[in-house]
Structure 1
Amino acid sequence: MRFSKLLYTTALFITAGTFSLQAQDTKTTEKKKDDKTIAEEIEVVRPYKPVLAEAVKLRRSPDLNDVKTYKAKFNYGLTDRKLELNSDINKLQAQQLADERKAELVNNYLKAGFGSASTSMAEAYINLGGDEALQAGGFFRHFAQSGKLNEQKFNQQEFSVFGRSILDQVTLSGRLNYQRNGLAFYGQDPNNSFQNLSPEKQAFNFFEAEGEVASKYTTDENALSYAAKINGYIWGDKFNAKENSVVLNGYLNKRISSFNLGLATSIELGKTQDLLVSVGNNIFKLNPYIRLQTNGVKINAGINFVQEFGAFSETRIFPAVTADFTLIPDYLQIFGELKGDVNRTSLKQLTDENPFLNSNIEIQNSVEKLSFAAGIKGTGGPGFGYKVKVYHKEISQMPLFVNDFATPYKYDVIYDFGNMKLLGLEGEISVQVSNALKWTGKVNLENYKPASESESWFKPQLRVSSNLLYNFNDKLSFNAAVAIQDDSKAKIYTAQPAVPYVIPDRDIETTVNVKGFVDLGVGAGYKINNKFSVFAKANNLLNNTTNGRFLYYQPIGVNVFGGLTYSF
């Protein structure tokens, strides 16, 4: 059995091996048949060996045998400079700051208001640009009021344009100005000594032009400075009075260390006309001087040569000496003055002082023969300043106002022929406690000794003025002003005086006392914002309606007005 099983098993393995050899041969035969049709194919089988690019090869440690160095190529530019050995401390250069932001300029404004006493007002001021070396602008002002008396009213208008240019060597400036003053001869006598039922109306028109060229200030001790100015105007009233004037001024100064040699000159050409008056009034002045200014001492010594020509012809020479000594710098100075001059009389000046002037006014020049003044001035600390002066004047042909005989509500001009003497005291003070409070005051005491007249008509002996400004905060401010005038004297004719008037006739004149007055006014302003603000003002708070500056002319009583201001 065992042999049989072994025999069968051996036969089985032999048979299986035979079939395996046959299968391999068959496959080879089939492949050969395919090669005859496809050409030839060779398949090579080997192990995978990766190949890395040069860029990604990394060494575990550097190669220390690589000692090759890289040498860059440079281009040199050598400069020939001297070697400086300087051990001094060099000055530090300040770092330049950034440009400061320009502040917004608010230097233009429009102002308008109204109130009691038929008050109307308007103002405008315009300045072009913020360049300090080039300024141009204009100004307009209107103010009108009326009282309770018949034709007790007045109105004023002013319009002006100006320009100024600062060049490298000189400064140029000029302006054009127009003024109008309208009023009426409303004067009345409470005692009914005359009738003025239909007051006449009056109006003054004034045109002015001015131009100036001046050299700029320099610290050069040997500098030459100069200036020249021309001014001309045309004036006229509602009736037949006319006046024109041209004034030329020149100035030349040579500085030599502490000394100054200078020459000032002027020529005034004027003509005054009316129905019965025609006067050519011309004056030429020449003032050479020498000035010493050093170590708190300033002395100016010269002469004033004056030549009148035209309707008047006279040659005069006056002293022109001023001195200023500093005893305590900024606190105390002593000053003195000795001079003389000829003052040209004009209708423009007379009507500015007294607008109720008659027609056909006589024109004479007043002569200030000798004038002396001395005083002290200085400061008493921050915000405090003072000035006190005593003066004495000797004036010939001083103009005075008197009431006309036929129309007492109009004023004529007479002259105090001879040498009138005046002794006076003037004091000024200014106190500024802070930006919130400021006060100024001025007082004049004068004693007149007439030459031929019995009194210096309408010349009060005491005049006081004062102003107070108080800023409560940044928005609210208050102000107050007071004007005080003492009694004065007026001359009333009882008969027609001689024409032309030369010597007073006391048999036909009487003296009337013109009582003094106190004019008190207050005001307030409130700033709404940077553009708008409001204001209010009250005048003549004591309601003085009887005593005025000139006889028969009563002031307007208490009046209150206010308005709005726009700034831009």
Structure 2
Amino acid sequence: MIFQTSMRYGYLLTGIFSGMIMMGYAQEERRDERSATIDSIDVVRDYRPILADAVKIRRSPDMSNKRQYQPKLAYQILDRKLDINTGTKQLAIQEMPFTRTQTLTNNYVKIGAGNLGTILGEVHLSSDYYVDTRLGGYVKHLSQQGTYEEQKFSSQQVGVFGRTILGPVTLDGEIGFNRYGTRFYGVVGDVDGTNLNLNPAKQAFNDIYFTGELTSNYDEQATDAFSYSLKADAYSYSNAYDTKESAVALSGYVNKQLNVFNVGANISGDFTSVKDASYDLGNNIARINPYIRFQGSNYNITLGANFVSEFGDSSRTNIFPSAEIDFALIPQFAHIFGGINGDVNKTSVKELTKENPWLGALGNTNYIRNSVDRMQVFGGIKGNAGATFGYKVKAFYRRIEGMPFYAVTPGTPYAFQLVYEDGENASTIIGLEGELNVRVSEVVTIGGKLNFNEYDLQREEEAWYMPKMRLAANARFNISDKLYIDGELLFQGQTYGLVRDPNVDLSEYSMTELGSTGARKTTIPSFADLSAGAEYRVTDQIGVYMRLNNMLGTHYERYLFYPRLGLNVIGGVNFSF
């Protein structure tokens, strides 16, 4: 069986080889039969493909069935809507943590001395470490002595202040103490040449005060904003002669914006008590001023009324008009404004003695009463040209009752008493005011204010010690980053004083008799007071300064018998940190 199978495989192989030989023979005969041409190809040897060593794979493939590890991938696709609005909108600013780029110098110490026994010292401390909070305090001292007998002055100030922003409101306040000391050094003689002020008495004013205010912060995004403010003021004021004045004042306002309208009211209450050895007065004033305001891009119109009630030792109620308009004739360059109003002006010992510290003791002939602005009409133009030029011109007409003036006290001519302008009709004042501020360049800045007043009084001969013309101007020169120079000019036109004591010698003054009462009007000449100062920064922290006051050296008089200090020079060092 095996033999037969082997024979079959043998026959099969023999047949296959025989067929291959026959096919090769047939092909050889065909080649021989084809004639050679120019395109003929002679085969030298058979083609054998050979790979270069560089492309040979010398590693046997791994044929085992292995499945590589495939990690599970997770994708978080953000579902964000593409904002392609064509309109503009406010950019959201990313708040950054507060960092200081440099150390601020809000604190300084200043010391100085000069002629006329001048001693100056100041310390000011302030902390701005927190963006929304500021705390600080100060101490000041100045003392001088003139060439006249007991012509002495001294001033001390101590205060602590603070300010903080609490979300929608801002809270700020200050508490302090001020003292001003002088003497009744008036140079007065009688007609026989005898000195009427042999022993100039001391005078000192002590003022303890407090002020605080809570104000809503402005929200520019609110079209119907509601704003408000509440303020409290209090002080206790006294002098060396047991005159005391205490006052507490509360005031505030509310305002509601309704499209182009603003509706609101100003409300205040002032409660004042004045006491002297023989004088006691309660002087209280309450006000309410409701208004409605129409506001546009180029105009502002306010209409309202002012209700004022006085109560205490005497009672009186007044209603005054209150209206104002502001129109942009040329926006940012020229605004026309005007208005009409009225009010009760509080007469206080504190304000009177700041103006004239030689006011005598109060009593039946020297008492306190308020003046009343029956009507005040005003108008003018104001504007600016960028940050380098600003101006304001204002004219006004006032009808006023009970204006207080100063007059020399009979028997003690070195002290003053109050006289009031009384009459059946109100007195009038016509005035013109002008203000100008110019920055000529980065080096020079100039500013000033000019006032003209014309008085038409019903009873008094003149507006005693009230000038008809007054000019106050200032200039500053930044010579370099280290050197600064500034100057001030005060000019006041001639004024008039009232003397009711016929024994007082007025031979050195221009004088006019006023009837048969023995009262005389004296002319106080005009004067100019020129001052200048310079400061040089030696380093960023240390500077030296010098100041010259009353450079013209004139012993002018603001009030009769009280000449001012002549030329005085102050120099010293300041240190900032």
Q: Secondary structure at the match of 2:571?
A: strand
Is the CA contact 2:413–2:501 (under 8 Å) kept in the aligned structure 1?
A: no
Is the CA contact 1:292–1:300 (under 8 Å) kept in the aligned structure 2?
A: yes
CA distance in 2, matches of 1:90, 1:319: 47
CA distance in 2, matches of 1:136, 1:369: 43
Deviation digits for residues 115-161 of structure 1, max 9, x if unmatched?
Answer: 00111111111112332311110122111111110001100111111
CA distance in 2, matches of 1:411, 1:388: 35
Correspondence 1:175-190 to 2 at 5 A? 175-189=174-188
Going from structure 1 to structure 2, the CA distance change for 1:400 and 1:86 (only over 3 Å counts) comes to closer
Tell me what 1:459 maps to: 466
Amino acid at match of 2:255: N
Amino acid at match of 1:537: R
Q: Secondary structure at the match of 1:351?
A: helix
Tell me what 1:555 maps to: 564
| Structure 2 residue 393 is the aligned partner of structure 1 residue 388 | yes
Tell me what 1:23 maps to: none
Tell me what 1:413 maps to: 418
| Structure 2 residue 429 is the aligned partner of structure 1 residue 430 | no
| Structure 2 residue 394 is the aligned partner of structure 1 residue 397 | no
Tell me what 2:264 maps to: 262
Deviation at 1:95, TM superposition (A): 11
Q: Secondary structure at the match of 2:130?
A: coil
Amino acid at match of 1:560: V
TM-score by length of 2: 0.83
Deviation digits for residues 79-127 of structure 1, max 9, x if unmatched?
Answer: 5776978888999999999987522101110101000011111111111
| Structure 2 residue 304 is the aligned partner of structure 1 residue 302 | yes
CA distance in 2, matches of 1:373, 1:301: 15
Tell me what 2:159 maps to: 160
Is the CA contact 1:491–1:509 (under 8 Å) kept in the aligned structure 2?
A: yes
Deviation at 1:407, TM superposition (A): 0.9
Tell me what 1:66 maps to: 61
CA distance in 1, matches of 2:93, 2:457: 69
Is the CA contact 1:268–1:284 (under 8 Å) kept in the aligned structure 2?
A: yes
Amino acid at match of 2:263: L
CA distance in 2, matches of 1:401, 1:235: 20
Deviation digits for residues 292-337 of structure 1, max 9, x if unmatched?
Answer: 1112101111100001111120110001111100111111000102
Tell me what 2:549 maps to: 539
Going from structure 1 to structure 2, the CA distance change for 1:530 and 1:64 (only over 3 Å counts) comes to same
Tell me what 2:277 maps to: 275
Going from structure 1 to structure 2, the CA distance change for 1:120 and 1:272 (only over 3 Å counts) comes to same
CA distance in 1, matches of 2:264, 2:494: 44
Tell me what 1:26 maps to: none
Amino acid at match of 2:133: L
Gaps of 5+ in 2: 1-53, 504-513
Tell me what 1:527 maps to: 537
Of all paired residues, the percent bearing the same amino acid is: 35
Tell me what 2:313 maps to: 311
Is the CA contact 1:105–1:130 (under 8 Å) kept in the aligned structure 2?
A: no
Deviation at 1:512, TM superposition (A): 0.3
Tell me what 1:518 maps to: 528
Tell me what 2:483 maps to: 476
Deviation digits for residues 164-217 of structure 1, max 9, x if unmatched?
Answer: 110111111111021000000001047847521210010000001122111111
Amino acid at match of 1:139: Y
Q: Secondary structure at the match of 1:409?
A: strand
Is the CA contact 2:409–2:501 (under 8 Å) kept in the aligned structure 1?
A: no
Tell me what 1:291 maps to: 293
Is the CA contact 2:468–2:493 (under 8 Å) kept in the aligned structure 1?
A: yes
Deviation at 1:71, TM superposition (A): 3.5
Q: Which has the larger radius of gyration?
A: 1
Going from structure 1 to structure 2, the CA distance change for 1:97 and 1:303 (only over 3 Å counts) comes to closer
Correspondence 1:83-122 to 2 at 5 A? 102-122=101-121
Deviation at 1:78, TM superposition (A): 5.0
Correspondence 1:130-169 to 2 at 5 A? 130-169=129-168
Deviation at 1:62, TM superposition (A): 3.2
| Structure 2 residue 569 is the aligned partner of structure 1 residue 564 | no
CA distance in 2, matches of 1:87, 1:257: 31
Deviation at 1:433, TM superposition (A): 2.0
Amino acid at match of 1:428: E
Tell me what 1:42 maps to: none
Amino acid at match of 2:379: A
Going from structure 1 to structure 2, the CA distance change for 1:341 and 1:185 (only over 3 Å counts) comes to same
Q: Secondary structure at the match of 2:353?
A: helix
CA distance in 1, matches of 2:568, 2:348: 33
Q: Secondary structure at the match of 1:197?
A: coil
Going from structure 1 to structure 2, the CA distance change for 1:98 and 1:320 (only over 3 Å counts) comes to closer
CA distance in 2, matches of 1:553, 1:212: 39
| Structure 2 residue 212 is the aligned partner of structure 1 residue 208 | no
Q: Secondary structure at the match of 1:469?
A: strand
Going from structure 1 to structure 2, the CA distance change for 1:85 and 1:125 (only over 3 Å counts) comes to closer
Deviation digits for residues 436-483 of structure 1, max 9, x if unmatched?
Answer: 211101110111111211111001111001111001111111111110
TM-score by length of 1: 0.84
Is the CA contact 1:447–1:461 (under 8 Å) kept in the aligned structure 2?
A: yes
Going from structure 1 to structure 2, the CA distance change for 1:193 and 1:468 (only over 3 Å counts) comes to farther
Gaps of 5+ in 1: 1-58, 497-503
Tell me what 1:358 maps to: 360
Going from structure 1 to structure 2, the CA distance change for 1:149 and 1:258 (only over 3 Å counts) comes to same
Deviation at 1:494, TM superposition (A): 3.6
Amino acid at match of 2:290: P
Is the CA contact 2:188–2:197 (under 8 Å) kept in the aligned structure 1?
A: no
CA distance in 2, matches of 1:305, 1:542: 49
CA distance in 2, matches of 1:85, 1:237: 75
CA distance in 1, matches of 2:323, 2:340: 5
Correspondence 1:373-384 to 2 at 5 A? 373-384=378-389
Is the CA contact 1:160–1:175 (under 8 Å) kept in the aligned structure 2?
A: yes
Going from structure 1 to structure 2, the CA distance change for 1:97 and 1:90 (only over 3 Å counts) comes to farther
Going from structure 1 to structure 2, the CA distance change for 1:64 and 1:424 (only over 3 Å counts) comes to same
CA distance in 1, matches of 2:82, 2:399: 76
CA distance in 1, matches of 2:80, 2:183: 91
Tell me what 1:226 maps to: 228
Q: Which moved more, 1:370-379 or 1:191-200?
A: 191-200
CA distance in 1, matches of 2:331, 2:395: 22
Going from structure 1 to structure 2, the CA distance change for 1:386 and 1:309 (only over 3 Å counts) comes to same
Is the CA contact 2:530–2:549 (under 8 Å) kept in the aligned structure 1?
A: yes
Aligned residues: 503
CA distance in 2, matches of 1:520, 1:79: 79
Q: Which moved more, 1:232-241 or 1:60-69?
A: 60-69
CA distance in 2, matches of 1:256, 1:427: 35
Deviation at 1:225, TM superposition (A): 1.0
CA distance in 2, matches of 1:162, 1:86: 49
Is the CA contact 2:411–2:501 (under 8 Å) kept in the aligned structure 1?
A: no
Going from structure 1 to structure 2, the CA distance change for 1:97 and 1:67 (only over 3 Å counts) comes to farther
